[in-house]
Amino acid sequence: SKPKYTRLKFDLEKLRDPNVLESFQAMIGGRFAPLTIMSNEDTDTDSMITTFNTAVTETASEILGKHRQKKKPWITAEILDLCDKRRELRKNRFEPEGSEKYKEVNNNIKRYMKKAKENWIGEQCSEIEENLRKKNSKRAYQLVKDLTTVKQGKATTVQDRSGKCLTEERQILNRWTKYCFELYNYKANGDPSVLNCTQTDTENDHPI
């Protein structure tokens, strides 16, 4: 079997900060500087590629850090750091000292989450008012929709004819197949008499 490779994801959003971008470029340049003075006899293509990948990966790890997915738009980097700390303390949460530290970090996360959410909603409301002032109703409507729409999870179960819930993927696919077959596979009972047209009396026709 082929070896499994883990794809590294870095927090590229940090590059929007000019100071972070400048530091990243400076460190990359410092790591690549020795490569520019090496002759072709000293290096080969494979070693150059390896050195390049190592330099980029180490620099990104040091400056940017790993990408952490935000499940909610108001979650800040500080909250993510606390979540990482809570994850580390989780294994000792049943010990007296570890339990106190875990509860403290957990309570801080809840408090910061509430405050961050309030700030984010306030920013969204301000942006809605600003767009209404500029008569950009389309953007304002989209912001209101994003704030008020309740996102529903994707359904992973269906019911068969008797009302029994199906959870396995193969059973669900079979149920959808039968449902669509019954829905669209029917015989049309048309009335053939509508195709019989009566002949008109052309002798009595008058020009319009």
* pTM of the complete model beyond 0.85: no
What pLDDT is stored for residue 41 in this prediction?
Answer: 57
Tokens 């767009």 map to which residue?
131
pLDDT tens digits along 80-118: 888 888 888 888 878 878 888 889 999 999 999 999 999
Q: Above 50 in pLDDT, residue 2?
A: no
CB 115 within 8 A of CB 82: no
pLDDT tens digits along 151-177: 665 666 788 888 888 888 888 888 888
Q: Above 50 in pLDDT, residue 1?
A: no
Q: Above 60 in pLDDT, residue 13?
A: yes
Q: Where are the domains of the chain?
A: 12-63, 77-148
